[in-house]
Chain A
Amino acid sequence: MSFELNRKLAAKRPALPCQCEIDAVTASIIRGALETVCFKACAHLGRAASSPIINQSNERNSSIIDSNGRLVVGSVGTPHLTFVTQLTVRYGLMHFEDYDWGPGDVFLGNDPDHGGGHLPDYNVYAPVFDDNGELVLVQALQAHQGDTGGKDPGGFTLEATDIFTEGLAIPCLKLVHRGEKRRDVIRLVERNNRFATFAGDLAAMIGGVQIAAREHQVLIRKYGTDKIRAALNYTVENTEKRFRDEISHWPDGTYEADVFIDADTQGTPDVKVHVACKVDGDQLSVDLTGTDDRQNLVGVWNTFGNTRGYIMIQLCAMIDPTIPKNEGLFNAVEFIIPEGCIAHPPPNKPAALGSFHPACEITEAVCIALSQVVPERAQPQVYKIGMPNAVIGFYDNGMMWMDQGVDSRSMDVSAVKGIDGWGSCPASLGGLLLAMAEEAEARFPVVNISREMTTDYGGAGQWRGAPGSLNIKKVLEPVSAMAWMVSAKHPLRGMCGGDDASPYSNHFLVGTQDEYKIELVESTQLPAGAVIAYQHGGGAGFGPAIDRDPEAVKEDVLDEYVSIEAARNRYGVVLRGSLEEYDLTVDIAATQALRNKLKSEKALGASR
């Protein structure tokens, strides 16, 4: 539990020792077979878990790590979980002898200071041995838990200054020994969770890795350990080669970006993330030197494992999506993440909120830095909301309920070169399902008043960001509510001359004389009938707005993504006719004149 440990965990792992040669087709067939087992582990978890966040909203992931601790198969699920898993397992592997690893064992880890992301992301893993007793693989499953046994339900404590406030931290704990469940240990873990459904989730994770481990054994017997290892080496090397091949087509140079969080949870403003991406031939380095390292910041500490993972999510979005996701990605990139900065905290810092921010700002900064290089894929894989407005109350029988506020909405979908932002969220979050009014209102005393996109909310650009939604909700009974606001002062950034997204804003007691805006954090009691309204900032634009096809702007006005005024002011497009009559046309001459004027004003502004 130290920077030294992180250095050890992140150190590059060698290829597996093996004697045989393997051809590309056999290697890909073996990889496909392992991927399928991984998929099945996830399917089992989805089927057997009892919490909706796992079994229906899909916040889960499955992956395989080899005996050298390399990620060899990243399967289905949530990319934000895929790339953290190997560090947790590596910590376990470092204690192979101590913890008496053997066939039939299952382990659990979630500790941010021992390779983990944040506490809610439980990682359950099972080693797979061949018939000679040699470790070949580790099958891992990750899922986000609804609670972690800390001070606040859900595990997100705004004022936490250490990890212990947030819940139970587990470096590596054996849940199953040689096929026998350790009931005392499992009971301890279950006890540290507020939700009754957790026991079913944990059992489903254990069941999932056990089933997968058995199937892996069948494959190991079929192909032999040596051939499996050769196939894994091949697939990792091929991914590295394909990634490097893409990098080698990027122009050499250093590409930098700064992204700011409005403030930490105590109001210290302008928390900075700095990224420099250096391309040199087929080598890419991502350097976070210059990122904020003020030790008194609260709530904005992203764990080391998570920082690596969130960088990788963005890099994966910017390369050929068919490249298999494994350690080869990490082998192709040099990470420079200074010890002690908010992207690599000292031990015992809280980790829950940091997985939102600065994690997403790190991702965003990588995207901005590389947006000139890969403009057609430069979409930040982020969520810029500070924290959804969760409301908590109690049923008549005294049981607690929590509406987590992860409602259907339009968040932060930026444009890329050639494609306007579309849908509800960036691609990498597209495997999760958002909550529906007709489900939530049957369970919780709330009414979803509105969640439509707001006209002109989002970044203009040659390609337009998706407009952010205004989510308005009324509570029908007294509740407690928590909020953390960011992205108001520093909204999501535009790419290559595109406009920034709009600022987020969040209001409580809407429509009453006591209505107020949340400037930073809030933890309060709301009366029955209170209305809360979260305005999402939408996606950012790509390229200069005055280069957008005027016909596309007209279509946007017809669809009320853009107002007639904004068409004129932001896009320099003059429209004739009326929206009410659906007979808008572009006044080509007036548009040209206005755009020329806007361009010269901009040039003038720049020269001053």
Chain B
Amino acid sequence: MSYRVGIDIGGTFTDFALLKGDEVILHKNLSTPEDRSIGVMTGLERLSEKEGMTLGDFLGQCDAIVHGTTIADNTLIEMNGAVTGLITTQGFRDEMEYRRGYKEDIWNAALPPFKQIAPRRRRLTVPERILFDGSIYQPLDENAVRDACRKLKKQNVESVAISLIFSFVNPAHEKRVAEIVREEMPGIHLSVSHQVLPRGPEYDRTSTTVVNAYVGPRVTSYLDNLVGRLRDGGYKNQLMVMQASGGVMTKEYIEGSPIRVLASGPAGGVIGSAHTGLAKGYPNLLCVDMGGTSYDMSIVLNGAAPATAGWNIHHRYLIGVPMVQVETLGAGGGSICQINGGELQVGPRSAGSEPGPICYGRGGTEPTVTDALLMLGILSADGDFAGGSFSLTQAGVAEAFQRLGEQMGYSAEDAAFDCWRVVNANMIQAIRRATAGKGIDPKEMVMLAYGGNGPAFAAVHADALGIEKVLIPKASPTFSALGTLVAKPTIDEERSCSFSAGKPDLRLMKSRWQELEARAEAYFRNANIHKRNIKFSYLVNMRYAGQNFAVSFEMHTSQGSQDYAFLNDTFGESALQAFNQRHMAEFDHIRDSELPEIIGVRLVSSVETAAPPVGEGFSAPASRATPLKIRRANLGEGYMDTPIFAGVSLKPGHEIAGPAVIEETFTTIVVYPGWKVHVDDSGDYEMRKLYHA
């Protein structure tokens, strides 16, 4: 028997999805923040025990271990990365501080500054200059580079970022600076902008490179540690790591570009959603993931969640590498309900997991969304919570809502219900905003809900948006781990160029693509993947002169080797047509009198992988399920006796009309009035709208 294991490390839990032939086994245990690899090894031991094997035998039979990590995000949240220095072009020392003028809150004159990764004393400049066409305007002053190294050494710098103006057009100076830094600072961690993000403009590239330098050493040492433990445990293959682009890649590749794991956490869930939706015949999805602190929204179109670069601000830094787009609202189970200026507000402040909601009984005193669900009878203090980790308690909950209610002039139950209304309204508006300006009508999509709290709210949001179907996979609480198993080994990189679409330099484009191809091939070879198994997708980045952001689209795909016959005399014309189509779709217009420019080539190299199978269909005969009990609950239409079902006892074919609550091991599914849930052949839930109120 061969196994594949997907692992997703979150703030509270580490989730596991074990793929064994066609069977998927789920597991969850607590994360170990002091050394996250311990929690990983503990979970792998539990899985091997479930299989009745020693850890060594189990790991020996694992074909692949795929891993999603928040290590880079945590480094930026805690701001405890490497001591980082920046070497840049003279005259451009302060771009990281200006941020192109950007501030997070235009109404808040007292907004605290972001913490600088490379404060000014560690941002050093060297005389040199390359122009937009790659010509050298001012030669590199090598002595200045050595002097900069001396200054950085004096400041105990552990990681150096190098970002020179127009290095993405001509990297000669940057390469030479890197050589000198290696000589002067042997063993230093280096991040060079034309490798990390070979495109303009300077702030985007420099910011991405500096963050790469900052998180790099921690990501590397973490992966080294984990790989060591896995090897010692008996694992013989490459560890694959999830990237924000939605693909996975080897440790060796990630170590060369650690920025690519930043914000990769949510990507696994989105990729898993796309896979599940496609298998069930729903290629267009609105995915909502509600956990303890946030509500993450993403969009899957035609079965894919394309990674795009752009103004991606994460943890107050701009990250320019392509990412699966996920919008986040500070609304989760732990979000705190309070009165501010006469208005009831829910979130973004969160009680987190410690002390957590009042009903966790761990000292929380402020009412949260989870507490509101308990007041409404959607959750219960009888029995287990979170897979048996603990039970909820009523103590203090009603009193807290009573205090809120007194300020608003009504009862505790009314206050809890209003908290539920407000958090729903926030989430609904957030979805509308997330889909705004993208040419998407939510009405035409299916909602897919996951995360611990997603299924308790999904149908309310679907209703408001005119969506008539909601999918809730049985594996929804560990969906991100499952997603890592679906993700393909992928390298997505670009190289810059600059010419009019009317006169494309085909030779240059070919050589850029070949360079990317050779890089990808080498990394895949090291992972024992042959070139014939690699699918190459050739994209171009195009824009009108003066636009800040380019549109990126595919011009050609091939499996294995490529003869570049597509790069012929008609290439410019077909690129222009594709650009016009894409620009029209994305921006609603094209400019008749202007020719766009081609500013980059991009190569996505990926390999098909054995993904967990997803069952579909409703062949089991429809039947009625028997409720476990009846509970007084308010599902939006006032308190009424509501049937409560146990998820473990539901079988394919079961149908339950709302109002009803289904208690799953790690989540609670609410079937709101006007909705009916159907259990499909694989045990997943599909909720359908019965009528419009």
Residue numbers of A with Cβ under 8 A of B are 24-25, 28-29, 32-33, 35-36, 39-40, 43-44, 46-48, 50, 52, 55-57, 78-79, 196-197, 200, 203-204, 207, 238, 241-242, 245, 316-318, 320-323, 325, 376-379, 381, 408-410, 416, 418-420, 422-434, 436-439, 441-443, 447-453, 469, 472, 558-561, 581-582
Contact = CB atoms under 8 A, between A and B. Distances in A.
B436 A43 contact: yes
Given A39-B436, A44-B437, A438-B202, A447 B98 contact: no
Contacts of B121: 558-560, 582
Contacts of A57: 548
B176 interface: no
Closest 10 A/B residue pairs (Cβ): A430-B103, A43-B437, A450-B91, A436-B201, A438-B200, A422-B113, A559-B120, A48-B588, A321-B107, A56-B548
Range class of the B interface residue count: 35 or more
B211 to A, nearest CB: 18
Given A410-B94, A423-B98, A441-B132, A24 B107 contact: no
B382 interface: no
Main secondary structure of the interface of A (DSSP, over half): mixed
Contacts of B340: 322
Interface stretch (B390-398, B426-434, B655-663): B426-434
Contact of A29 (B166, B200, B425): B425
Contact of B110 (A39, A419, A582): A419
Nearest to B201: A436
B20 to A, nearest CB: 45
A204 B588 contact: yes
A522 to B, nearest CB: 24
Contact of B593 (A196, A416, A469): A196
A242 B418 CA distance: 21
A450 B90 contact: yes
6 contacts: A408-B95, A424-B99, A427-B105, A428-B107, A430-B101, A432-B101
Contacts of B93: 452-453
Interface string B84-108: 0000001111110111111111111
Q: Is the interface of B mostly helix, strand, loop or mixed?
A: loop
Nearest to A34: B429
A422 B98 CA distance: 8
Given A56-B549, A441-B131, A560-B121, A430 B106 contact: yes
Contact of B588 (A78, A207, A320, A560): A207
B110 A416 contact: yes
Given A43-B436, A238-B343, A438 B165 contact: yes
A439 B103 contact: no
B548 A439 contact: yes
Contacts of A559: 119-121
A35 B110 contact: no
A285 B108 CA distance: 22
B246 to A, nearest CB: 24
B104 A430 contact: yes
Nearest to A27: B343
A441 B97 CA distance: 21
Contacts of A453: 93-94, 97, 120
Contacts of A48: 587-589
Contacts of A203: 589
Contact of A430 (B105, B137, B588, B589): B105
A443 B109 CA distance: 35
B591 interface: yes
B339 to A, nearest CB: 9
A429 B433 contact: no
Given A29-B421, A472-B91, A40 B433 contact: yes
B100 A241 contact: no
Contact of A316 (B92, B107, B129): B107
Contacts of B111: 427
Contacts of A197: 591
Contacts of B437: 40, 43-44, 46-47
Contacts of B422: 25, 28-29
Contact of B137 (A24, A381, A447, A472): A447
A452 B91 contact: yes
Contacts of B92: 437, 450-452
Contacts of A207: 588
A439 B106 contact: no
